[in-house]
Amino acid sequence: MEVTAVLAALAAGALIGFILGMVGGGGSILAVPLLIYFVGVDSTHMAIGTAAVAVAINAAIGLIAHARKGNIKWGCAVVFGSSAIAGAALGAELGKSVDGARLLALFAMLMIGVGLLTMRKRSGGSDPDVKLERATARRLLPRLLPAGFGVGGFSGFFGIGGGFLIVPGLVAATAMPISVAIGSSLLVITAVGATTALSYSISGYVDWTLVALLGLGGIAGALLGRIALGALTGRGRALQLGFGGLVVAVGSAILIAEWVG
């Protein structure tokens, strides 16, 4: 790789990590456009496959922190995630069969939708003690399994974590609090990201050098993001709105460029 490409990849990883450190999620939605328009990856499928690896790694790191705090409902997350893996495997295969230009346009529309959803206030459920056990299985399984499969398929198709769908999906299925749903979603995102990454990797659509550079940049960016977040305590809603607006703007720009082109 040329020096400029290496620096661009490190900078892209730093920006993604910075956003994750500031907002706590969603930064992976910017990975694909950054890889294509900033780093210079000329294949939409390669960008999605490479981004999927970064999604899985970032989610796994976040999962460890939430597990230590006890913010994970393991039974619900495992069932939801198992179903999501099946959906992601199917979604990834479908995504690879779509023309790159059309897939990028669909991804841009997805970004606009994600940005708008990000700007909405999220609410949690009212059952902090919910558990998947014999007494609750008949009620929870019919909700968790189809929701997981649908979200997994959507995430696998686009190579994203899908937290913006997983979190409300878990809340709707189990009525767990939002903080626990966020922690539990990271287990699902890790599984979905790894499944998508494996599918794209088998087809040769993962640039492992870029994965390493994104990871190195992401570590530094995440540290800076947490520092910045500490300086902006109490402005979480403003950060949420700002990030949502940024995602909508980038998605709109990509869509316009694809239509004009």
pLDDT above 90: residue 258? no
pLDDT above 70: residue 230? no
Residue with tokens 């009525």: 175
Instruction: Sketch the domain layout of the chain as residue ranges.
Output: 3-260
**210 vs 215: CA distance, rounded Å:** 8
pLDDT above 80: residue 260? no
pLDDT above 70: residue 236? no
Query: Residue 49 has which token pair?
Result: 């496959």
Per-residue pLDDT, averaged over 138-147, amounts to 93
Torsion of CA 151, 38, 229, 74, to 10 degrees: 20
Structural contact between residues 186 and 69, judged by C-beta atoms closer than 8 angstroms: no
In the DSSP assignment, the letter for residue 205 is: -
pLDDT, residue 234, reads 62
Cβ neighbors of 113 (< 8 A, separation 6 or more) are none
pLDDT digits 0-9 by tens, 22-79: 665 566 678 888 899 899 999 999 999 998 888 788 788 778 877 888 889 999 999 9
Least confident of 15-19, 202-206, 231-235, 245-249: 231-235
pLDDT above 80: residue 233? no
